[in-house]
Homo-oligomer: A and B are copies of this chain.
Amino acid sequence: MAAFLPLADAIAANIGDGDSLAMEGFTHLIPFAAAHELIRQGRKRLTLYRMTPDLIYDQLIGMGAAEKLVFSWGGNPGVGSLHRMRDAVENGWPAPLALEEHSHAAMANAYEAGAANLPFAIFRGYKGVDLPKVNPRIRSVTCPYTGEVLATVPAIRPDVTVIHALRADRAGNVLLEGILGVQKEAVLAAKRSIVTVEEVVDDFGPRSPNAVILPAWTVTAIAEVPGGAYPSYAHGYYRRANAFYKDWDAIARDRDGFLAWMKENVLLKRPADFAGYRNRRAA
């Protein structure tokens, strides 16, 4: 049953050094506040799962929190490279980063299989490409009816999944709306889960009978962190800070500039500071 906790307590109680961790959010609802708290608490040797390790993982990797990354697309969407991720992969700074690379289709199916408590997923993919030659986790099964050979991917079952959602009600049920990504699957696939939300409401009120809701008994901890997805966005609350994504390219390009920015904007900040970010002008 979901426990309402301050973010720092929720992170400290559920994420330890060496854990496997999925922080999801497909451009929408990316849990930046939780990632910053993780950095402040100095977690190390994490195995990080994420389809699109964008700024949030560039920050974790650049601060040395990760030893392995499982991903399918590692860039700054519409801008360019993730300089901290590249520095770790190409130069081992601040620490070497092991990569387990899949395609989006594979990762999405792997979360889906995890939520369904299956050991693996099947899909029609990786035809004529090189990734299976460098990732031994990509295997295949033969259809017992047609003989077709299909690609397989092991289910993703992280120790902890962290997401940001729009609202929780007082009972601890969590509502997602808009671009859903793989967050529901990632929470259902994990042993433990932490959800930051824009607000806690008495009742969700009138809604679609098919609203995307995670029942309280599927969530471990909930922390109310307004603005917690900034510089990504929260549908109906604030828009994506596209300009910041562009600015990040320069911030992260060199190590000293990155460290200085992280000190000022992460190490010296607190979760409550995110409430201010969402009031900035955003497109």
A interface vs B, CB < 8 Å? 117-120, 122-124, 137, 139-146, 148, 150, 152, 154, 177-178, 180, 207-212, 235
Contacts and interface: CB of A to CB of B under 8 A. Distances in A.
A135 to B, nearest CB: 13
A145 B157 CA distance: 14
B150 A139 contact: no
State the oligomeric state as a number of copies. 2
- Leading 4 A-B pairs by shortest Cβ distance: A208-B208, A139-B144, A119-B146, A119-B143
B140 A120 contact: no
A261 to B, nearest CB: 34
A210 B207 CA distance: 11
A144 B141 contact: yes
Given A119-B148, A124-B118, A177 B141 contact: no
A237 to B, nearest CB: 13
B210 A177 contact: yes
Contacts of A212: 210
